[in-house]
Amino acid sequence: MTSDHQPGPSAPAGPTAGSTAGSTAGAPTHRLPAGLTLASLGPFIALLIACAFFATQSPIFLTGGNFSLILQQVAVVGVIAIGQTLVILTAGIDLSCGMVMSLGGILMTKLAVSSGLPPPLAVLAGLAVTTLFGLANGLLVTRIKLPSFIVTLGTMNIAFAITQLYSESQTITDLPPMLTALGNTFSIGGTEFAWGTVLMLALYGLAWFVLRETAAGRHVYAVGNNPEATRLVGIPTQRVLLAVYVTAGFCYGLASLLSVSRTGVGDPNAGQTENLDAITAVVLGGTSLFGGRGVIIGSLIGALVVGVFRNGLTLMGVSSIYQVLVTGVLVILAVTADQLSRRGAR
């Protein structure tokens, strides 16, 4: 989806009279109708087509219960995709998201079950560790100037190893109720919805507001669009990048709690498909891998597309390995569309 948050081709070379940090390059415009194109509606159209197709393949696909199930399944990837969107908007990528999420879940559950730590403190400990991973990623990218791909590839493996060692590759069961509270449901019109879905939607609303309506959000777009020009107008680009990675790490921690709440266990093997699913959701949603262009709600739609495909294929009896194959095809198609769009804009 091409956002109405489209920075100009370059940030201004220096401050001008009356300029402020909040009016830098990369600030989103508010002329949605003028920029509304078929390309910008692509993810939503893809979602509608996917729903229409799977509705013809399974009589239960369009039922309220199945819709609620899709939202529950999407919640984890959706929250991860918020952090991933922030990173990709700055022209980076975070390959560690799934494994960091898995580590957070294992820490929360094992500290609460095996170490006897009160559940609130166990949750805070898990959030703290995932946030620290985000901080580590950010420091390596901003201070040592390492490529985000290499940094997060390394921290992905570190998080995976710590998860397996700490959990002894064992699933953590018999969780206290607080850790599974977000998996509890409430009824609307006879359909059960999980509180985790509400949290995901609230987080998207918050992220949308910050990116669209605040100077901090405009700075994220500006850094992704033209970091050098953004630095020249006085915006601390390194601080913006560091904040993005820290926020992403915190999002992965929240996704840990959602995952634990939905499954009812601490699974050391969780997160192995979330990397691909989250990146696919972000790119399908119209966020450019080259940075500076995208909209957070597009990532939510992209996550729904991924969730609809996985759910629909499951209802059709398609093996999970083929579902991964389809997800891989989707991300390649989305990146190809982004590349062609950039070429056409030149």
pLDDT in tens, 104-120: 999 999 999 999 899 99
Q: pTM of the full predicted structure? A: 0.86
Q: How far apart are CA 19 and CA 13, in angstroms?
A: 12
Mean of the pLDDT values across residues 201-221?
96
Q: How far apart are CA 73 and CA 115, in angstroms?
A: 29
Amino acid identity of 53? F
As a whole number of Å, the CA-based R_g of the chain is: 20
Helix axes 296-315, 42-57, angle to 10 degrees: 20
Per this entry, what is the length of the chain?
346
* Cross-strand pairs, 266: 172
Q: What are phi and psi for residue 194, nearest 5 degrees?
A: -85, 150
Q: Of 244, 246, 247, 253, which is closest to residue 103 (Cα–Cα)?
A: 253
Q: Give pLDDT, residue 40.
A: 56
Which range, of 36-50, 250-264, 309-323, averages the lowest pLDDT? 36-50
Question: How far from the centroid of its chain's Cα atoms is residue 260's Cα?
Answer: 17
Decide if pLDDT at 239 tops 90: yes
Q: Are 106 and 281 in contact (CB under 8 A)?
A: no
Mean residue pLDDT of the chain comes to 87
Q: Give pLDDT, residue 24.
A: 44
Decide if pLDDT at 271 tops 90: no
Decide if pLDDT at 15 tops 70: no
The CA–CA distances, whole Å, from 258 to 73, 77, 307 equal 10, 10, 16
26 vs 145, which has greater pLDDT? 145
Mean of the pLDDT values across residues 230-243?
94
Query: pLDDT per residue over 285-328, tens digit each?
Result: 989 888 888 999 999 999 999 999 999 999 999 998 888 898 88
Q: Where are the domains of the chain?
A: 59-341
The CA–CA distances, whole Å, from 303 to 84, 184, 276, 339 equal 12, 22, 11, 21
Q: Are 316 and 53 in contact (CB under 8 A)?
A: no
187 SS3 class? strand
Decide if pLDDT at 7 tops 70: no
Measure the N-to-C terminal CA separation of the chain; round to a whole number of Å: 18
Token pair in block for residue 314: 């499951």
Contacts of 287 (CB under 8 A, 6+ apart): 3, 85, 88, 89, 293, 294, 295, 298, 299
Q: Give pLDDT, residue 23.
A: 43
Decide if pLDDT at 32 tops 90: no
93 vs 13, which has greater pLDDT? 93
133 SS3 class? helix
What CATH code would you report for 59-341?
1.10.3470
